[in-house]
Every structure is written in structure tokens, then in C-alpha cells.
Chains A and B, each alone.
Chain A
């Protein structure tokens, strides 16, 4: 898994571009990287164009991020591919998350 992060000028929109699989091994890294970047962010965009697989550990991190953002802003998932969308649908998370 590779991560690249960028913030907009006033630091309220954080876009995280994720590549690869978010599984048991890589999910903690995503969690740690996000943990350090929440400050001042109103909109967290996870760009999943390069994500081919999300395991239950990955789902846990995404749900955690969603709950974290729910108070002060929102989490948006972008470019989610079909396989990953199926995982969200299967677990019912598609109803809870903003998937664009």
C-alpha cells in the first residue's frame, strides 16, 4: 500500500490517495497516518482509485475515520472500484459512508 496526502490551501480539505490493498498488514499504517492528519480538517477525501482490496481490518479503519469526522465534518470515499464497493455493500457500510 502506498499513501500520498495533500491538503488544500486553508487546510480544511485533506485528500488521501491510497494505492494497493488495505488489509491486516497495511490497515494499521493507514490508521496511524490518518491519526496525525485530522487537525483542522473539515473534509477528508479518501481516493480509492488505486485500491483493489479492503479487508475487515481496513473497514474498521475506514469506519473509525468516518466516526472521527462525523462530529466536525465528513468523510468522502472517491473512485471506489467494483470489488471494493461489493465489500462495502456486503457489510452494509455503503449505507453509512459517503461513497461518490
Chain B
């Protein structure tokens, strides 16, 4: 249960963590995107202002430069008009060029052939010779002609050069000045959009691109993602005149703050949820698990048979109720077991009482015979019994029997058999006939398959003749006067209560004065010791051969021998012994 609970707790905590993380991620992503767009927008605004400003600047510089160039050309034309001979004085012309702060001076005749040039190497050049210089030929026919060409690369070094020219005033011809437009160059450089773009920074790694606006009609800004220099970047493009400005900011930079916020969040959350997990686990352990373990321990104790165990878990009211419930169940169970045990005890006790109460205990001791018997009941099994009685004056009947079974049923069966046999024998019939009659009775309705082994003998006190039948019983032992104990192995008949098909027949043994007979049940020979060995017939015979004394002494001694042999092993079956001493064949 603890594991299960922890599993679900973990799932819950992990879920909460993921949810928090996800939501934070979304919010911070959107915030980061917004602020990145804002940054891009501001930067692009700056850039577009800069572009516009430099463009305006450039126009102004160009206009000023053109005006100044034309003034210089006009001044030169005037000087030539005043003094045409100046063209023949190159040193003076060079001085004029220096004063005008230009690089070249060119003057042509009416055919467009340069007649005076600084540098002088140009002299003789035909202005119609190149497309660029041919533009000035119109001045030959139009005295009001003025032209400032756009700056263009010139010469081998392709240096940017600009020409301005006017018509000659003294006669048809061209007056032209050439110079390096350094200011324009400067202004153009500043106004170069690629230059602007290359010097522009957005954030740390973001850049600006300026491209031709291919769709001048579109004045709307556009947001998109694109890979720039291998970095996925957020891009914003806005039109600016004929240009399209596109600013970008790499996503990694855009999300820097989000990532650091999330990093802190993750650490804080892990700590928080870890603490929650541990606290809940401890609480669970304290409140629930330890309670359950405690209840389980007690239940195990109870299952092992200790019904005295009480459960006292009072962590919560539920546990109190549970403890109380289990305690009352156990105590009810205990009561019922006790009453059942009492009932069984009572039944066994009753069986034993019946069994012992019917055994005769007045042992005769006279001149002709003496007799003693003992029955020692085992706790579980009842069913042994013995009997002896006179038939008239001259005959003595002795009986030892063992009913298979226990409790009241066996006791009643035994009582019934005992009474039946006594009645039959006293009616004067032989032991075999008595057993045959009794067997018929016992075989009827014997559903419990109970049976009885018996040794029944009738001794004629005058003759010493012993008529006996062994119905499935242990062989008795006989000791002739002066001899040793020997088993009396007679023809065996079947135990009673089993079958009516096998007849019983009498066997006659002759006893002489001084002979001693021992009848017993299997509780004697089948007594076991700690090694699980049986006492057995040979040991019984040897033991008896070492013994003397009266029948009662013999029985007591045999019983104590058996107790020593068993030494602590509980007696599993009833032990019954009957000793008969025959003294005299003749009545005194």
C-alpha cells in the first residue's frame, strides 16, 4: 500500500510539476516573443529613420556639390572670356585649377577638340570620343548649356570622378572641370544602405538586412521565423520607401530570459515538490502505514493462535474503529473456540466416564484364583475394556477387548458389546457361540465401520480347561508354573463387527495350578518411544520374564516400565492389562 500510495503521489507531483512548467513555458515564451518583437520594431524604426535621413542628406550634398561645380565652371568660362590668352599659359591655368579646388580643367574649340587641359595630356582629345564626354557636345551650339554629370568611375583606378561643364562665352566651345566628389563620396558611403545594415545591431546577435522592396504597394509589417547564419531567428520586416528592412533576433537570445526564469522555476519546483513528497510519505508512514503494519503484526499473532493479542492502534478514529472491530471479533472467536473445546472435552470426558464406570474393580483373590486388571485410557482414544465374572460357581469368564473408535460412540458400542457378551456367556453358551451371536448384532447397522477385537476365555476352575476365542486380538501370554512367559498363539478369528461370513471356534488350553495368564490390548505392544520404536511383543515377553509378584504388582510394574519406555511421548492408545493366577484344580 505504501508503494502504491507513493507511486500515485509521485504521479500527482510529477503531473503538477509538468503542468506548472508547461504553463510557465507558454506564458514566458509569449512574453519573450512580444518583447523581442517590440525590440525589433523599435530597432527597425531607428533603422528606417537612419536610412531616410542619410538619403535626404545625400540629396542635399549632391545638390550643393553640383551647384558649386557649375559655379566653378561658369567662373572659368568668364575668366576665359575676359582673357582668352590665358589658355596659352598653362602655369596660370594650373594656378586657376588650384584656386578653384578642382582636379582637371578642359577647354575645347568649336569642334569639341580639347585645346587646353590640366593635366595637359588630355589636350587634343576629341570630346566626341566617348559617350561620357559626348554629353557635353551640345555646348558647341547652345551658349546657355550647363551640365553636371553624375559621379562615375574614371580611369584605370576607377576612381569616382565628376564632370561639370558650360558653353564658352568668348566663342563656341566647352569649358569643363573635373574633380573627385569627395563629399558626395562620403555622403554616399554614409547613405549606403548595406553599410547601414552592416553597422546595425539588434540586441546582441540580431542583425538588420536591407533589401529592395519588390512589392512597393505592400506597406504592412510581416513577422516570420527564419534561419539566419544557422540560427533559428524571429524576423520582422517593414517597408521603408524603396527598401524593405528586415530585422532578426535569434530565438536563443529571444528566450534567454525565459530560459533563466524557467531554470529557476524548475529548481524551485523540484525542491518544493521533493519536500512535499517526503513530507506526505512521512505522514503516510506515520498515520497509515505504521498503523496497518501494527494491525498486521497483531493479526499474524492472532493467526498463530495467540487469541490473547489485542490490537490498539489509535492514530486515527478509523484505526480505533478497526482495532475495536478486530478485538471484538477475536474475543467472540475465542469464546466460541473455548466453548467448542469445552464441548469436545466434555464429550471425550463423558466417553471416558462411561468406559471406566462399567469396568469391574472388585478383584477376587481366593484359594482357586486371583485376578487383577487395569485400564489406562489415552486422551484421544477410548474403547478398551475388560470384564470378568463367574458363570455359576465353577466357571470364570475373562474378557479383554478393544473397540476401534473414540468418544461417546465408541463408548456406547463398547458398553453394548460388553453387556451383550456377558448376557450370552452367562446364558451358558460357549465363547465361540457367544461371539458369533454378538458379531451378528454388531454387524447390523455398523455404518461407522467400527469393529472390536476381543479375547474371550472361560476357565473351568475344577479342570483347569480354558475355552477361548481370539477374535482378531493380541495373543495373550501364558506362564506355566516354573516356566517362562510364552505367547499363546491360537487360531485367529476375525474381529467382531466386520463380517458374518467367518465363523468363530473355541480352542481349549489346559491350565495347571500355578499358571499365570496375561491378557492385554495393543496399547501395550504399540507403545512408542521417542525414537518412534514400538514396545513390541519380544520386549513384552522379556520384560515379563524378569518380573514376579502379585497380579496387581505385575500390572503396576508393567505400567511403569511402559512409562519409562515412552518417556514423555504421549500415550496414543488405551492400555489394558488383565492378569489371572490359577491356583488349584480342585475345590478345597
Contacts and interface: CB of A to CB of B under 8 A. Distances in A.
B572 A24 contact: yes
B495 A93 contact: yes
Contact of B474 (A53, A90, A96): A90
A15 to B, nearest CB: 22
A92 B573 contact: no
B499 to A, nearest CB: 6
**How big is the A interface, by class?**
10 to 19
Contact of A92 (B471, B474, B534): B471
Given A92-B494, A96-B499, A56 B449 contact: no
Interface in B482-503: 492-495, 498-499, 502
B404 A96 contact: no
Given A24-B572, A56-B522, A60-B404, A95 B449 contact: no
A89 B502 CA distance: 14
B384 to A, nearest CB: 10
Given A24-B573, A91-B495, A60 B534 contact: no
Interface in A46-80: 53, 55-57, 59-61, 63-64, 67
Interface residues of B, number: 28
A90 B475 contact: yes
A23 interface: yes
Where chain B touches its partner, the secondary structure class is loop
Contacts of A93: 472, 494-495, 498
Given A92-B471, A92-B493, A56 B453 contact: yes
Nearest to A92: B494
Nearest to B522: A56
B582 interface: no
Contacts of A95: 494, 502
A61 B405 CA distance: 11
Interface string B372-409: 00000000110100000000000000000010111000
B352 interface: no
A60 B472 contact: no
A40 B384 CA distance: 38
Contacts of B383: 56
A56 B495 CA distance: 11
Given A59-B495, A90-B473, A91-B473, 5 more contacts: A59-B404, A60-B404, A63-B449, A64-B449, A92-B495
Interface of A: 23-24, 53, 55-57, 59-61, 63-64, 67, 89-93, 95-96
